[in-house]
Amino acid sequence: MGPQALDLRDIHLPEAINWWPPAIGWWLLVVLIPLCCWFFIWLYKRITRKTAIKTAKKLLKDIKQDAALDDEQKLIALSALLRRVAISISPRNEIASLTGHAWLSFLDSTIKGSPFTSGAGKVLADMHYRNTNDTEYDISQVITICENWLNSQKVNK
């Protein structure tokens, strides 16, 4: 068998793989990663919000039942509790700087009526700075208003 001329072609390399369109797995990642991030942020906010309100209700109950505190100390504790809850469930930069009438207006904006600006809750605005002898207030009404405010926070946001 002698050398014969074979009709062979040269080796042809396949075309380079294009980057577009991406495979289906990349499309799924593009959709699922932002969706998962949004879901986890939403879940975190929901869990921390419920925890803040639940803890605040327990603390409010403790303040209400604590016989060692006088009425002025209870009002100071209620004021601090409401502020802590408001800061934890609302944007901090909007709530933390509120004082006086602006603070009471914020509290009223999240509940029906205006029990803080025109009701018994107005003592929470400046009770720290007043002489207790010149102020008439009913601690049970203030506690009831605070309980109503905490209960309304579930619905608001």
pLDDT tens track for 85-111:
999 888 888 888 888 889 999 999 988
* Residue 32 within any structural domain of the chain: no
Q: What is the mean pLDDT of residues 145-153?
A: 91
* Residue 44 within any structural domain of the chain: no
* Residue 102 within any structural domain of the chain: yes
* Residue 42 within any structural domain of the chain: no
**pLDDT for 156:** 46
Identity of the amino acid at 24: I
Q: For the segment 123-138, what is each residue's pLDDT rounded down to a tens digit?
A: 888 776 766 555 667 8
* Residue 69 within any structural domain of the chain: yes
Among residues 125, 146, 124, 137, the alpha carbon closest in space to that of 62 is found at: 146
- By the 8 A CB rule, do 96 and 87 touch? yes
The domain tally of the chain equals: 1
What is this structure's pTM? 0.66
Task: Reply yes or no on whether the pLDDT at 155 is more than 60.
Answer: no
SS (H, E, C) the chain: CCCCCCCCCCCCCCCCCCCCCCCHHHHHHHHHHHHHHHHHHHHHHHHHHHHHHHHHHHHHHHHHHCCCCCHHHHHHHHHHHHHHHHHHHCCHHHHCCCCHHHHHHHHHHCCCCCCCCCCHHHHHHHHHHCCHHHCCCCHHHHHHHHHHHHHHHHHHC
* Residue 36 within any structural domain of the chain: no
* Residue 57 within any structural domain of the chain: yes
Give the structural domain span for 111: 50-156
**pLDDT for 135:** 60
Determine what percent of the chain is predicted with pLDDT higher than 90: 36
The residue with tokens 């209700």 is 57
* Residue 37 within any structural domain of the chain: no
